[in-house]
A and B are shown apart, each in its own frame.
Chain A
Amino acid sequence: MSDTRKITVATCSLAGCFGCHMSFLDIDERIVALVDKVSFGRTPLTDIHTLHACDIGLVEGGLCNDENVHVVRHFRQQCKILVAVGACAINGGVPAMRNRYGLAECLEESYLYGVGVADPQIPSDPELPLLLNQVHPIQDAVKVDYFLTGCPPPAEAFLELLTAVLENRAPQMSYALRHFD
């Protein structure tokens, strides 16, 4: 990789909690060393909304609705390297715990019969994305190149990933960076 070209990173959070993004920011002052080498594409961190071709796509969260599926497929098309970030992207995580119930059951509990529900109705605005019958890991919809495990993955894992890509090698996650929790 030439010194003159920066690598571009896009990120998104699907069925996740933004915790992985927060952890990414825990790179703290080490980000200074990366500024010359990395720039952001689409990401909620800088509020850039348009996804262009880029080097790395960091996807947080699993797939819980059709919009998630479109976004992750778009990321796959545009990103040379697609990374599943965190437990939810890798195995569905906490959102996938709804998978033991039917979708109707979940919606009825949340919007019709649950404790404290006022004006019970299942949201049906056509603007809302359609929920999937089950939450899926992103690997169920796209090919994934690397995985950052953890809930969230530690900042050091992000750092190692970016460093490895800059050095044109595969990331090497130490024991402490491979936790699932």
Chain B
Amino acid sequence: MTTTDTFPRCGPYPAAAPFAPIREELTTRFGAMPDRLDLLQILVSIQHRLGYVPAEAISWLATNLGLSRAEIHGVVAFYSFLEETPPAPYTLRFSTNITELWQGQEANMARFKDLPNVRALPTSCIGLGDQGPAALVNGYPLPRLTATRLDAIARAIASRRPVAEWPAEWFKVDPNVRLAGPLLEFAFTPGALVERVLAAGDAAFMEMLRASGLRGRGGAGFATHAKWDACRAEVVPEKYVVCNADEGEPGTFKDRLLLSDHAELLIEGMTIAARVVGAKQGYIYLRGEYLWLYDRLNAALEARRRAGLLGAKVCGAADFPFDIAIHLGAGAYVCGEESALLESLEGRRGVPRIRPPFPATHGYRGRPTVVNNVETYCAIAQLAGIGAAEFAALGSQGSAGTKLHSVSGDCAHPGIFECAMGTQVSTLLDLCGTRDPLAVQVGGPSGRLLFPEEFHLPLDFSHVSSGGSFMVIGRERDLFELVYNFVAFFHHESCGFCTPCRSGSNIMLNALQRIRRGQGTEHELQIITEAAAVASKASHCGLGHTLGNPFQDLERGRPAVFQDRLRDSPDGTVLDLKRAVAEARALRER
């Protein structure tokens, strides 16, 4: 279960690489009869090495994992980064979050459309919004795509230069810390905080956690101590701690920094969690877009093992065995929902589970599991270091501590800002160097669209809660395009399980497209309003509950954005006659 993999830069991929040569490598890594829970990890490994998952691989997996082929096909088809068709030598996936589209990403993508040896595809936000426009080449990030850089990339592709030999500078991801605070500046000796918890006892730490008022940093803001209490109350030997590093909410990239530069803090926090809830195994669920962080995270884990801070006796405590493995996602936003994450961690399609029961009692492998965000675990370690009173004093009433904000969009200083909970939106806007913006999208597409009259609001759990995305929208931008982009995002990322989200997002997207073409009437607006309401009331999980938010916020705050685009007609205009007869006209003239 602590199998480690490695993900060097790969490609150009051969047209249809055979599976046989890597079979042995997989057997060495995952065993002759791999655990069925490792399905997704093996698929990711195959995909990265060969650029696709060949039919022989599916047969081999079905036989050796004791799974039906249908299930394996179903899993491959679920994740955006897994493919069964033989690959192009290079695949460029361009991040199409709205801030990057506004930076010219469409043209960047078009630049590669007709070139040989390369596929240019859109992909959901890849966590580089502060240094975009950005893309992935065969899974590796290419930030800051300027015209010059794109030309150089095109030349590298034309000459079939191995991705491993592309200049390191092209892949350099800037930490981009604009404002560090108590969390990012927190200094400690690795293991010291775990030892402190070992010495004080689990109950004492739980009391500290409760007194601190720490709430989850992923977006939902659930009280961390309540989650842990529920898990602690389960008297079973097998429990898990899981780190949600599926930072998929568009415009969020603060976990990227924590994973790359503060992994020690994260691991310290996870280890404390394991001690307190009684888990022997931890998992970091790392989004596929952060594959480039896999090897360095593994190195951090290996260093901890060598230092005796992970393994059979953590910090020398005979009664504290604990280790952490990394599991990779493969391009699915919904896996950020904790029960979908657990499904994915178990190698299946990331479809959110029926809740209750909740992960704290029935989580990974059906066992009690604590799932927390990267930033939450880091805050846990910080809390162990500074104590509840000091931690609570860092924030506002009901919102203890500081919060990392990933600032992108139309501002002078995009990057990561650590602010006390309760900091006003306007303060952060000043800090990032923006003047008189049109609006701010806080918390990503599932969050809130705020207009200037709301900029006085504090960023905390009682006012404007945020998972960490802060997209500044300048005066010259078109908010309709923002909503269209977000609905297209939800439509693409809907897992398809429940009717309101699957069908509702499709209905909304189609109606928005008609408005966008200038064909929409009041009828379209009404349809979108209704579909959004049904999705928010009746969906199975948070993705569906929030997919109507961007539309509802804009419709409430700036209804003219829609009204100005509508045609004045009492009729439904789903049917655009000119478009509808274009094909027949062409056939007639053929």
Query: Is A–B contact present in the complex under a CB 8 A cutoff?
Result: yes
Binding site for B on A (CB under 8 A): 63, 65-66, 69, 73, 76, 102-104, 107, 122, 124, 126, 130-134, 136, 139-143
- With a cutoff of 8 Å between Cβ atoms, the chain B residues found around residue A63 in the complex are 575
Contact-residue bracket for chain B: 10 to 19
State the Cβ distance, A126 to closest chain B Cβ, in Å.
8
Given known contacts A132-B580, A134-B580, is B575 in contact with A103 (CB within 8 Å)? no
Q: Are A132 and B581 in contact (CB under 8 A)?
A: yes
Which B residues are CB-close (under 8 A) to A136?
Answer: 574-575, 580
Beyond known contacts A63-B575, A69-B580, A133-B583: 12 more, CB 8 A cutoff: A65-B581, A102-B583, A103-B583, A104-B587, A124-B588, A130-B581, A131-B581, A136-B580, A141-B577, A143-B523, A143-B571, A143-B572
Task: Report B531 CB to chain A, min CB distance, Å.
Answer: 16
* CA of A130 to CA of B584, assembled, Å: 6
Enumerate chain B residues within 8 angstroms of A69, measured Cβ to Cβ. Answer: 575, 577, 580
Q: In the complex, which residues of chain A have a beta carbon less than 8 angstroms from the beta carbon of B588?
A: 122, 124, 126, 130
Question: Given the complex, which residues of B lie within 8 Å of A102, measured CB to CB?
Answer: 583
Q: Quick check: is B187 within 8 A (CB to CB) of the other chain?
A: no
Ordered nearest first, which 7 A-B pairs have the shortest CB separation? A140-B574, A130-B581, A130-B584, A132-B580, A140-B575, A131-B584, A141-B575
**What are the residues of chain B within 8 A of A134 when measuring CB–CB?**
580
Closest to B571 in A: A142
Is B424 part of the binding interface, using a Cβ–Cβ cutoff of 8 Å?
no
B572's partner among A66, A103, A140 (CB-CB below 8 A) is A140
Interface residues of B in 522-573 (CB under 8 A from A): 523, 570-573
* Interface pairs (24), CB distance under 8 Å: A63-B575, A66-B577, A66-B581, A69-B577, A69-B580, A76-B571, A102-B583, A103-B583, A103-B584, A122-B587, A122-B590, A124-B588, A130-B588, A131-B584, A133-B580, A133-B581, A134-B580, A136-B574, A139-B572, A139-B574, A140-B574, A141-B573, A141-B574, A143-B571
Q: Which residue numbers of B lie inside 8 Å of A, CB to CB?
A: 523, 570-575, 577, 579-585, 587-588, 590
Min CB–CB distance B467 → chain A (angstroms) = 39
Is A133 within 8 A of B584, CB to CB?
Answer: yes
Distance from A81 Cβ to chain B, minimum over Cβ atoms (Å): 14
A109 to B590, CA, bound (A): 16
Chain B residues whose C-beta falls within 8 Å of the C-beta of A130 in the assembled complex: 581, 584-585, 588
B583 interface neighbour in A104, A126, A143, Cβ under 8 Å: A104
A122 to chain B, nearest CB (A): 6
Give Cα A139–Cα B523 distance, bound, in whole angstroms. 11
Q: Which residue of A lies closest to B586 (CB)?
A: A104
Residues of chain B contacted by A139 (CB below 8 angstroms): 572, 574
Of all chain A residues, the one with the shortest Cβ separation from B582 is A133
A142 CA to B580 CA in the complex, in Å? Answer: 15
A66 to B578, alpha carbons, bound, how many Å? 9
Of B523, B575, B582, the most chain A CB neighbours within 10 A belong to: B575
CB of A60, distance to nearest CB on chain B (Å)? 18
Question: How far is it, in angstroms, between the C-alpha of A85 and the C-alpha of B574 when the chains are bound?
Answer: 19
Q: How distant is A108 from chain B, measured CB to nearest CB, in Å?
A: 9
On whether the beta carbons of B584 and A141 are closer than 8 Å, the reply is no
Give the complex CA separation of A76 and B570 in angstroms: 10
Given A103-B587, A104-B587, CB of A73 within 8 Å of CB of B571: yes
Q: Once bound together, how far apart are the Cα atoms of A140 and B580, in whole Å? A: 12
- CB-defined contacts of A104 to chain B, threshold 8 Å: 583, 587
Asked, given contacts A69-B577, A130-B581, A131-B581, whether A141 binds B587 with beta carbons under 8 Å apart, the answer is no
CA distance A63 to B580 in the complex (A): 11
**Considering residues B573, B582, B584, B585, which has the most beta carbons from chain A within 10 angstroms of its beta carbon?**
B584
